[in-house]
Amino acid sequence: MRSEELRIGVFDSGLGGLTVVKALTKVIQNADIFYLADTKNAPYGEKTPKQILQFSLDITQYFLDAYKIDILIVACNTATSAAIEILRERYPHLIIIGTEPGIKPAIEHTLTGKIGILATPATLSGEKYQSLANRVANQKNIQLFEQACPGLVEQIEKGEISSDETKKLLEQWLLPMNENGVDTIVLGCTHYPLVGKTISEIMHCDVTLIETGSAIARRTLDMALQRAHKNHGKCTIQMESTGSIDCQAAISILGQETVCHKINIINH
């Protein structure tokens, strides 16, 4: 790793991965973070694994060509499931960190043994999630309540975090969890922490929400320190998108000024 600033590339299909970027800024210093929202191809949760893999390969190569990144963070559960293994094979010298539903910390937090999983259809059907769920199924006193959330990412991208339509969708999905005494909910998409407050209000109980941004940030710092990163100085963020995006919403999520550009990536 070079002696100058750490260069981190982070991507997701939209604004959701900014929850990971925000977590990064709390622990990472002396770094340039490049965030790419692939809004042209959003939502990933409704694309095929082959399509998502190609998007991920194209974005990774772009980051390397444009910014010579040291670390790649796949800030998307769906893309992690579809692409992480091949990305690691293709780029063996690049630190690559993925995102997956926080089932393990959920098990550590639950008191009732009843855990809700909110995720995109693609994540729930993906091999990586299924492997995690199967391991959990073998544990006594743990019951998973899985719920696919089609359309929720689109609502969040439109800025309808607390709209009546969004609340209606969440109420429908959360009702079975409420009735069954779920006390811990895994937010299996990086967009979902943005509606965390609404989820807590709908559950009407002291529910624990598990998101992965902080764990990813700690993992990133650990990997960087292993390569002699000096974690002191400033941290900058530059955001780009392959299609339209609400920069003001991005700034609101991050709580700071963000350089915002629009770029084009050719997806083969």
Catalytic residues: 76, 189
75: Cβ–Cβ under 8 A, 6 or more apart, which residues? 10, 11, 12, 16, 17, 19, 20, 21, 99, 190, 216
Measured CA to CA, the distance from residue 50 to residue 48 in angstroms comes to: 5
Computed on alpha carbons and rounded to an integer, the radius of gyration of the chain in Å comes to 18
Strands 6-12 and 31-37: parallel
Beta bridge partners of residue 7, listed in sequence order: 32
Whether omega for the bond prior to residue 101 falls within 30 degrees of 0, making it cis, is no
Give whole-number Cα distances, 233 to 32, 180, 212, 230, in Å.
11, 48, 25, 9
Measured CA to CA, the distance from residue 244 to residue 14 in angstroms comes to: 10
